[in-house]
């Protein structure tokens, strides 16, 4: 096992502590237990896109810089770049505060969530697998299914391994997971490829994978490839929050025009505000 360390200059606002709190609450599929880790440190295990080797990452923050340490037996340069993508460290966000200056609602969200950079799944492959596992199930149930697939090293199975597993899963989930594995091996779920496409085209491409409908395909692009500038089209709760924050008659398509080139980021901020607001209402 080898080790690779680098320091990344993060352009624009960033708080690892804020981002970590968000990632921990995003989905049980995203971040394993961080017991013992300080607030401004993230540790995670993932599969490196391309060679699908296992890698471990430790990320800390020093002012506006990220210290990234990756260990593993595969391509660690690729692994480090992947860490930058799923933590949104690769995005030049120096103009993100300008979105708040154009939109008072987003300005409020930025103040409430200082330095948040939306964290995604480790890869589109893992996002697609989660989408299949979570179909028609509660998140807690889907998380248990996913945990049952993790190896003793804490990593999700590589696509070639997942393709051969005889799984006892509800409905057609085994068939769909095998299709996801095939798509990953064929390069159809490659992050770099998906982010070179227009988000609408990327979603259309992902929908060619058996078992991935419109909502799942958007999850793969927006939270798997972590595309920073796209609009979710299948989240009624987000539309409800737009109505609550902007007034009756306003729509996501209407208000999001001023969010470019950070429409995904702004939508994530609103979703977090909604979850916190509805939790407070519900006690």
The model's pLDDT over 174-201, given as tens digits with 9 standing for 90+, comes to 999 999 999 999 999 999 999 999 999 9
pLDDT of residue 210: 97
The CATH class for the domain spanning 124-224 reads mainly alpha
pLDDT of residue 112: 95
Torsion of CA 231, 235, 236, 237, to 10 degrees: -100
Q: For a pLDDT cut of 90, what percent of the chain falls above it? A: 78
Which CATH fold topology does 2-94 show?
TATA-Binding Protein (3.30.310)
Please provide the size of the chain in residues: 283
* Residue 37 reports pLDDT greater than 90: no
pLDDT of residue 39: 63
Domain positions in the chain: 2-94, 124-224
The C-alpha atoms of residue 165 and residue 176 are separated, in whole angstroms, by 12
The closest alpha carbon to 77, from 4, 158, 1, belongs to: 4
The closest alpha carbon to 87, from 148, 25, 31, belongs to: 31
Helix (H, G, I), strand (E, B) or coil at 265: helix
pLDDT of residue 27: 52
CA atoms in the 13 A half-sphere facing the CB of 141: 9
Torsion of CA 205, 207, 210, 214, to 10 degrees: 170
Q: For a pLDDT cut of 70, what percent of the chain falls above it? A: 93
Torsion of CA 25, 28, 29, 34, to 10 degrees: 80
pLDDT of residue 26: 62
Tens digits of residue pLDDT in 137-160:
888 888 889 989 998 888 999 999
């Amino acid at each position: 096992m080898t080790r690779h360390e680098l320091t990344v200059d993060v352009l624009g606002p960033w708080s690892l502590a804020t981002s970590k709190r968000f990632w921990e609450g995003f989905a049980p599929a995203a971040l394993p237990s961080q017991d013992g880790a300080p607030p401004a440190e993230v540790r995670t295990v993932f599969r490196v896109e391309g060679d699908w080797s296992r890698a471990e990452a430790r990320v800390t923050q020093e002012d506006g810089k990220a210290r990234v340490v990756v260990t593993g037996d595969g391509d660690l340069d690729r692994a480090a770049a992947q860490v930058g993508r799923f933590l949104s460290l690769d995005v030049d966000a120096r103009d993100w505060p300008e979105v708040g200056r154009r939109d008072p609602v987003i300005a409020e969200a930025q103040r409430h969530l200082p330095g948040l950079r939306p964290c995604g799944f480790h890869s589109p492959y893992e996002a697609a697998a989660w989408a299949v596992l979570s179909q028609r199930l509660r998140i807690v149930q889907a998380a248990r299914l996913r945990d049952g697939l993790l190896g003793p090293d804490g990593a999700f199975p590589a696509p070639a391994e997942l393709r051969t597993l005889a799984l006892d899963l509800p409905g057609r989930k085994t068939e769909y997971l095998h299709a996801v594995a095939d798509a990953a091996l064929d390069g159809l779920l490659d992050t770099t490829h998906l982010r070179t496409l227009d988000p609408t085209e990327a979603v259309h491409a992902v929908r060619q994978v058996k078992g991935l409908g419109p909502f799942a395909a958007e999850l793969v692009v927006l939270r798997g490839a972590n595309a920073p500038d796209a609009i979710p089209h299948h989240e009624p709760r987000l539309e409800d929050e737009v109505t609550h924050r902007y007034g009756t008659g306003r729509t996501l398509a209407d208000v999001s025009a001023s969010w470019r080139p950070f429409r995904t980021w702004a939508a994530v901020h609103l979703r977090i505000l909604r979850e916190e607001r509805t939790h407070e209402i519900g006690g």
